[in-house]
Amino acid sequence: MVKNLIFDMGNVIIDIDIPRTYNAFAGLAGISSEEATRLFHEKAFFHQYEIGKVSDAEFRDLMRREFSASWSDADIDTAWCALLLDMPVERLARIRALQQQYNVFLLSNTNAIHVREICRRAEALGYDFLSLFRIPFLSYEMGFMKPDSGFYEEALRRGNLLAEESLFIDDNADNIRAASSVGIQTIWLNPIGSLLDKVAHL
């Protein structure tokens, strides 16, 4: 019996398009999108930022150094958040409704800049985003990133959850397989954007 629902965030609750951030920094730096994409893929500090090893201020300084730029914090944050697209209010409403029947959690690869922006957008829609979840398991606070099985195991431990009573919803097949490997039930959102259809039976 499922007692716990664990939601991913990107392309589950809020739509994302990662190349938009690459393109935004390319525009700021006056370089090609291909060159910006290469930098993002090569530099380890992006991963370090999302597991909490690099602070917001350190991340921004590293961005300025790597792109040889003197951008403001606001310039960096805006470009970094360019990947964040629509967050349909119907998804937030459905998650809130599910709180009446389930313990609802969030488990996401993310960072503080993105979380602040998502919370700001949710507030504009009338929702306190983080309060929708009993515990938000965020990579930069947990020190893990999906699909590392340790992320799921630590979430189960911190939440005092049983894997067999938990259902994880994600759009990424690798993340789904990792959750399954530790005994968590799963729903793979394929196609992306199908959250409301996939949870209609819950």
Cα distances from 171 to residues 45, 103, 176, in angstroms, run: 24, 20, 8
Q: What's the count of helices (H) and strands (E) in the chain, helices before strands? A: 11, 5
**Mean pLDDT across the stretch 14-29?**
97
Percent of the chain with pLDDT over 70: 100
14's tokens: 């809020």
Spatial distance between the Cα atoms of 74 and 135, rounded to a whole number of angstroms: 29
Q: What are phi and psi of 82, to 5 degrees?
A: -60, -25
Give the pLDDT band (50/70/90) at residue 165.
very high
| 146: pLDDT strictly greater than 80 | yes
Name the maximum alpha-carbon separation found in the chain: 54
Task: Give all domains of the chain, ordered by start, each with its CATH number.
Answer: 4-15+86-198 (3.40.50.1000), 19-83 (1.10.150.240)
Spatial distance between the Cα atoms of 177 and 192, rounded to a whole number of angstroms: 17
Spatial distance between the Cα atoms of 42 and 63, rounded to a whole number of angstroms: 13
User: Sheet of 135-138: strands edge to edge?
Assistant: 135-138, 103-108, 4-7, 166-170, 185-188
Q: What is the pLDDT of residue 44?
A: 86
Rounded to two decimals, the pTM is: 0.95
Spatial distance between the Cα atoms of 165 and 124, rounded to a whole number of angstroms: 34
Spatial distance between the Cα atoms of 85 and 127, rounded to a whole number of angstroms: 17
The amino acid sitting at 142 is M
Are residues 2 and 167 in contact, defined by beta-carbon separation less than 8 angstroms?
Answer: yes
> pLDDT of 81-106, one tens digit each?
999 999 999 999 999 999 999 999 99
Q: Which residue has the tokens 């630590």?
A: 154
22's tokens: 């690459």
Q: What is the pLDDT of residue 171?
A: 96
52's tokens: 């909490």
